[in-house]
Amino acid sequence: MALKCSSRSRLSSFMVMDVMQKAAQIEQLNHDVMHLEVGQPSTGAPAAACRAIVDALDDPSAHGYTLALGIDPLRKGIARHYERAYGLQVSPENVIVTVGSSLGFVMAFLTCFENGDRIAMTNPGYSAYRNLMLSVGLEVVDLPAGAAQNWVPRVEDLAAMDPKPEGLILASPSNPTGVVLSADELAAIARWCHDNDVRLISDEIYHGISFDVDCATALGSSSSAIIVNSFSKYFSMTGHRVGWMIVPDDLIDPMERLAQNAVISVPTLSQIAATAAITDDHALNELEGYVARYRTNRDVLLDGLPASFLGNVAPAQGAFYIYADTSGISANSIELADRLLKEAHVATTPGADFDPVDGHLALRLSFAGSTDDMKEAARRITAWVRDYTRRA
Ligand SMILES: Cc1ncc(COP(=O)(O)O)c(C=O)c1O
């Protein structure tokens, strides 16, 4: 008997996870692999967050459920963060704590859109948006944001979409390109969406990690946008699985009902840790130190990698990624990433994970790891490219 498996279960895999699995196999053979594939800080949670967990361990309530939208101190701490970081007033009522930003996307898709609605996303863009949207019955429309657009999505391309999409999701700083939209560019997109009844989901998960440019929030220019953020990147707490959304008033109740039914609540100890991370001044100093390391790491790669490997590289102004145009070396990024892993023991992510059109010509390098690892990765890639070019 063949039991049915839904068509929506036929999701594409998240290629970076496949690379991680292959890297683990190579490590089992006692080779040390430089991990430039995964977008995850090599550091742990700030000290204040760790202490908060230890202090809470003896309290039985720290081991139980919380209210579906999150614990009060965390919602208040996040609201205050908007005042401190952007000078914007946010009510804790509009803050919704989620299981990573990943659950936030699913909640936003399910709450705001009907089956078959068309949602635009930047190309290149974060592949999980595409895969999740397809799995909940949405149609994905690409908004170009590649080299031909100077890596910046344009309002005129949005306005030219026919039929008009019901939503737009984009990230600034961007994964995979590291491009940060200027306040004007983001405001123009946010206002266009608001004026045209297009729901904007602004993924601001890499805010705090930018080099010589400020990260603007869409919250300042649209009252209908959903702002998504997380403790995973700037706060260095990927495994705690805490994210948040700032939502307009009319979405609070539907989101609450969905959260109650889908997850009941976000892990309690993680919410306690996140509260400390976002409210403790020492934690913020610690995190700024990590951002300084990312900047050094970026420079190590940009200065140390051969020009043929960096091609027409997107400006790495934020997040912790370099999106390298590797077309001078290979026209198949999946094969190139595979060879780099097997022959140089450097794990990278094929551009095909982020761009179904031109991604075969690019690799994404994450510089979230240690500076020593970046130096070693640059040395290995340079030697590999030299050998490869000699043999070609
Ligand atoms: C652009 C972007 N958004 C969202 C996420 C999901 O992060 P999390 O669910 O850990 O908050 C990631 C993870 O890499 C990302 O790169």
Residue 55 located in a structural domain: no
Question: Each residue of 97-129: pLDDT tens digit?
Answer: 999 999 999 999 999 999 999 999 999 999 999
Question: Each residue of 285-320: pLDDT tens digit?
Answer: 999 999 999 999 999 999 999 988 888 788 899 999
Residue 350 located in a structural domain: yes
Residue 58 located in a structural domain: no
Average pLDDT on 137-142 reads 96
Average pLDDT on 148-173 reads 96
205 and 289 together in one domain: no
pLDDT at 340 over 90: yes
Average pLDDT on 74-84 reads 98
146 and 228 together in one domain: yes
Residue 38 located in a structural domain: yes
Average pLDDT on 262-274 reads 98
150 and 231 together in one domain: yes
**Residues contacting ligand 1 via CB (< 6 Å):** 39, 100-102, 126, 171, 175, 203, 205, 230, 232, 238, 243
Q: How confident is the model at residue 1 (pLDDT cuts 50, 70, 90)?
A: low
Q: What is the pLDDT of residue 299?
A: 96
Distance 30 CA to ligand 1 centre (A): 30
Q: How many domains does the chain have?
A: 2
Rounded-to-integer distance, Cα 174 and Cα 204, Å: 9
293 and 357 together in one domain: yes
Q: What is the pLDDT of residue 272?
A: 98
Residue 380 located in a structural domain: yes
Last residue of some domain: 239, 256, 280? 280
pTM (2 d.p.): 0.95
Distance 241 CA to ligand 1 centre (A): 10
Range of the domain at 209: 64-280
Distance 101 CA to ligand 1 centre (A): 6
136 and 242 together in one domain: yes
Residue 201's CATH number? 3.40.640.10
Q: What is the pLDDT of residue 390?
A: 82
Q: What is the pLDDT of residue 18?
A: 84
Average pLDDT on 14-24 reads 86
208 and 88 together in one domain: yes
Average pLDDT on 125-145 reads 95
Residue 129 located in a structural domain: yes
Residue 73 located in a structural domain: yes
Question: Each residue of 203-221: pLDDT tens digit?
Answer: 999 999 999 999 999 999 9
Q: How confident is the model at residue 59 (pLDDT cuts 50, 70, 90)?
A: very high
Distance 175 CA to ligand 1 centre (A): 9
